[in-house]
Structure formats: C-alpha cells, structure tokens
Amino acid sequence: MANSSAAAARRYRATGPAPSLTGPASDVHPVPRRAPAPPAALGLLAQAREGLAEATALRTPNERYATAHLAALRTAAAVLAARGRPDPTPRRRARIRSAWEVLPEIAPELAEWSALFAAGAARRARAEAGIRGAAGQRDADDLIRDVAMFIRLVERLLLLQPVIPRPGLGGTASAGAVEPSGRSGGGGNRVEGA
C-alpha cells in the first residue's frame, strides 16, 4: 500500500510543479511545449490583437462585427501556421477550403470555436458589404468577447503569454475583463477566409 502511494506521488511530481494559487493563470493549466511558435504564427496573432483593438474602437455594429470576425480568422490562421502540414494527396491540396473547415482537423480542441466563427461568416460578409442591420450592437459585442477569449486560448495553446494592456492606453481588450463563455477550447491546404 505504501509503495503505490509513493509511486503516485512520484508520477504527480514528474508532471511538473504544482500550480501556484497566487501566480499567473498559465500555471493553472500547463500545456506541454513542442516547439516555439513560428514567426508567421506570431505575426498573425499580433495582427489579430490589433484587429480586435480596432474592432472595439469602431462605432457601427457592422464594422465592429466584420473587424472582430477578421481577427478571429487571423487567430485561426496562426494555429494553421504553427501546426499545419501539407496534405499528402494532390487532390485534397488543390481544393480550396475555409480556415474554419481545416482548423478542427489541425486542432480538434478548437472545433467548437471553429463552428461558432464559421456560423458568423455569412453575417460578416453582409456586414462588410454594408447591408444595413447585418449585425446588431449586441452581435458585435458578443463577437468581440468571443474573439478576445479565442485569442487568449490560442496564445495559451501556442504557449505565448497573453498581452494584457494597461488600462487607458488604448490597447486590446484586457484579458482579465473577458467573461468565460463556456466554450472549450489538412494544414497545407490552400485556405481562404470564411
């Protein structure tokens, strides 16, 4: 009996340090690191953060919605840039697929997020076309919150520290201000925005 307790204690210690109650959130749910994110992924995440900041500053719901959805698309592209591999078959490589269609294959843990943003693609197209009422104020606000959470999740997935701007400096939405929404979290294909 004592041997099984000692073995269990060794297994627990081997997985890493215990999470700190006062430390950063990244200590709570560590993700094994494979390799650092490639520069292309980092650039796309930076563009996504900038797009999200821009979306929060825009006035009309259509502009806010379309810009936030584009930030989500850039975030998905960062995952594809970090994890994607060319399809082995030329037939599948030649077919153009939406990033939202490819993302669940590359990162199954993001399948629900992919479905959420894929469902908003038609609304984004209407909003970009300037169709009045394509997106309401609440639609834009909800999407901005969802995109902020998605960016944080992908940053954690790619093992980056989320950027949390100081209040009043006009950066991206504070990661601490985002309410959890209850969502859990072919790469070489030609991918087109959805």
The 3-state secondary structure of 73-140 reads: HHHHHHHHHHHCCCCCCHHHHHCCEEHHHHHHHHCHHHHHHHHHHHHCHHHHHHHHCCCCCCCCHHHH
User: Quick one: which of 28, 48, 60, 30 has its CA closest to 136?
Assistant: 60
Q: What pLDDT, on a 0 to 100 scale, did the predictor assign at position 41? A: 87
> pLDDT digits over 8-42, tens only?
444 444 444 444 444 444 444 454 445 567 788 88
pLDDT value at position 194?
A: 52
What are the distances in angstroms from CA 154 to CA 10, 107, 172? Answer: 31, 10, 15
Kindly report the number of other CB atoms within 10 A of residue 67's CB atom: 25
Cα–Cα dist 171/126, whole Å: 27
pLDDT greater than 90 at residue 168: no
pLDDT, residue 84, reads 79
Contact between 63 and 143 (Cβ < 8 Å): no
Whether pLDDT at 184 is above 50: no
User: What type of residue is 66?
Assistant: A
User: 159: helix, coil or strand?
Assistant: coil
> What pLDDT digit, counting tens, does each position of 109-167 carry?
999 999 999 999 999 999 999 899 899 999 999 999 999 999 999 998 887 655 555 55
71-107: pLDDT as tens digits: 999 999 999 988 877 667 776 666 778 889 989 988 9
User: Across residues 1-13, what is the average pLDDT?
Assistant: 46
Tell me the pLDDT tens digit for each residue of 42-71: 899 999 999 999 999 999 999 999 999 999
Q: Are 183 and 113 in contact (CB under 8 A)?
A: yes
Euclidean distance between CA atoms 51 and 68, whole angstroms: 7
* For residue 190, pLDDT beyond 50: no
* Residue that the structure tokens 């960062």 belong to: 78
Q: Angle at which helices 61-83 and 121-128 pack, to 10 degrees?
A: 130
Torsion of CA 175, 181, 186, 189, to 10 degrees: -60
Over residues 158-183, mean pLDDT: 48
Residue 182 has pLDDT above 90, yes or no: no
pLDDT at 160: 60
